[in-house]
């Protein structure tokens, strides 16, 4: 069975994502309790934080330990350009501390960390090693250390996304969602009581492997050691709702990331009645996989090229939990072309089932025709 073939990879991936969630929760708390400068702007005006670099370094280090440095290819979002500037020494120091504090906890996640704390050059090397450009041949790990960095700095939803691609196909997908409660209706509850999450209301890690037809969810392993490894896992499944009037659709929070008015037109054509659920990050895919929403639509501005790390893990989770994902023309997403999803037709549509998917694709076609008249 294909999923057994990748059991070691999946096992390591799930554990390192748990570690990354632990790291991010710590940094997110510090972000609100200190006023140190942990957030920077990148050239495209998007944000990067101590957590993004720290997760990338930690996961790279752990994957290299597990699978050997010779034959590992990692495609990930961040680089070291900002961190190596002389004026960034305080920032690098914060990354160093958070990576080493996290790696020291590795045994709690059933993994082995380094014998002694990593130095700055090892951290920079780990981050910059994740510079593979992927492609159609061989195996590539694909990492978004913090997806939804804006959500992260706002104390809202974000995700740690790790996938493994072989010969252009996503084989395993793991999503860590520290602010997405394992309880039913976890998203709604969070949006109502932000930052007031009860102590037993922890986030989750979801994972799957291609062809298994199953996707799983675990509660986060908490700092107070309440959940020790091996952690309990629960099967997740997409919603069975196929009546558009009862369906919930989610979309990006930022208008600059997706055309809200076009999505509203499609929703109207299909007969969706509920207000859109606007959620940062790949937590949108997680919500479809868990059955908390039925539709996810994203229409980026024309010319924007989607990156594989923003989708790989989420797409596989939705598919294996019983859902359907395609571009807005109905074609599958192609993860074999390098760091970008080439040839995406207008946008991305993920649905809990085929019936809703067909309706949305049809409505996109109709709305596009009429908006271009």
Ligand X SMILES: Nc1ncnc2c1ncn2[C@@H]1O[C@H](COP(=O)(O)OS(=O)(=O)O)[C@@H](OP(=O)(O)O)[C@H]1O
Binding residues, as ranges, are 77, 144, 147, 310
Q: Which of 298, 311, 357, 359 forms a contact with ligand X (CB under 6 A)?
A: 298
**300 touches ligand X (CB under 6 A):** yes
Going from the C-alpha of 247 to that of each of 277, 295, 354, the distances in angstroms are 11, 7, 13
Measured from the CB atom, the residue of 109 and 285 that comes closer to ligand X is 285
Going from the C-alpha of 114 to that of each of 5, 98, 164, 269, the distances in angstroms are 27, 14, 24, 56
Do the bridges between strand 249-251 and strand 295-298 make them parallel or antiparallel, or are there none, so unpaired?
parallel
Give the Cα-Cα-Cα angle 30, 175, 292 (nearest 5 degrees).
Answer: 100
Query: Which region, judged by CB under 5 A, interacts with Mg ion, from 93-101, 144-152, 162-170, 257-265?
Result: 144-152
Neighbours of 300 (CB within 10 A): 17
Query: Which region, judged by CB under 6 A, interacts with ligand X, from 19-27, 54-62, 112-120, 149-157?
Result: 149-157
Print the binding letters for residues 229-258 with ligand X: x by CB under 6 A, - otherwise: -----------------------xxx-xx-
| Binding annotation for Mg(2+) | 77, 144, 147, 310
Which of Mg ion, ligand X, none sits in contact with 32, Cβ below 5 to 8 A by type?
Answer: none
**281 touches ligand X (CB under 6 A):** yes
Torsion angle of the four alpha carbons 346, 350, 356, 360, in this order, in degrees rounded to the nearest 10:
-10
Paired residues of 166 in beta bridges = 139, 169
In 3D space, the residue among 210, 208, 232 whose CA is nearest the CA of residue 221 turns out to be 232
Looking only at residues 60 through 99 of this chain, which bind ligand X when binding is defined by CB under 6 A?
77
Paired residues of 86 in beta bridges = none
* Residue from 34, 44, 45, 52 carrying the catalytic annotation: 52
97 is catalytic: no
> Which residues of the shown chain bind ligand X in the complex (CB under 6 A)?
46, 77, 144, 147-151, 252-254, 256-257, 280-281, 298, 300, 304, 307, 310
Give the active site residues: 52, 149
């Amino acid at each position: 069975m294909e999923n057994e073939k990748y059991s070691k990879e999946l096992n390591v991936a799930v554990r390192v994502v748990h570690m990354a969630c632990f790291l991010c929760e710590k940094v997110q708390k510090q972000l609100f309790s200190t006023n140190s400068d942990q957030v920077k702007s990148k050239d495209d005006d998007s944000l990067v934080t101590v957590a993004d670099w720290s997760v990338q370094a930690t996961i790279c280090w752990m994957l290299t330990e597990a699978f050997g440095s010779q034959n590992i290819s990692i495609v990930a979002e961040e680089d070291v350009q900002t961190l190596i500037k002389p004026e960034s020494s305080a920032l690098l120091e914060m990354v160093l501390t958070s990576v080493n504090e996290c790696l020291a906890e590795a045994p709690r996640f059933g993994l082995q960390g380094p014998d002694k704390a990593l130095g700055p050059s090892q951290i920079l090397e780990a981050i910059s090693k994740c510079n593979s450009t992927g492609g159609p041949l061989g195996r590539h790990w694909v990492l978004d250390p913090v997806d939804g960095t804006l959500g992260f700095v706002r104390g809202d939803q974000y995700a740690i996304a790790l996938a493994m691609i072989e010969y252009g196909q996503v084989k395993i997908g793991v999503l860590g969602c520290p602010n997405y409660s394992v309880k039913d209706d976890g998203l709604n509850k969070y949006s109502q009581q932000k930052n007031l999450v009860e102590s037993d209301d922890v986030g989750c890690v979801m994972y799957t492997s291609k062809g298994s037809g199953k996707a799983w969810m675990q509660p986060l392993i908490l700092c107070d050691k309440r959940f020790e490894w091996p952690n309990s896992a629960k099967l997740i499944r997409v919603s069975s709702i196929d009546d558009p009037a009862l369906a919930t659709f989610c979309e990006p929070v930022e208008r600059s990331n997706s055309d809200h008015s076009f999505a509203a037109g499609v929703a109207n054509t299909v007969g969706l009645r509920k207000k859109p659920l606007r959620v940062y990050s790949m937590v949108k895919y997680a919500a479809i996989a868990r059955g908390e929403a039925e539709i996810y639509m994203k229409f980026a501005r024309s010319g924007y090229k989607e990156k594989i790390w923003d989708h790989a893990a989420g797409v596989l989770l939705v598919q294996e939990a019983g859902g359907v994902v395609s571009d807005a023309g109905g074609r599958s997403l192609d993860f074999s072309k390098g760091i970008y999803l080439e040839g995406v037709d207008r946008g991305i549509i993920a649905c809990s089932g085929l019936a809703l998917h067909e309706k949305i694709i049809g409505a996109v076609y109709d709305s596009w025709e009429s908006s271009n008249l």
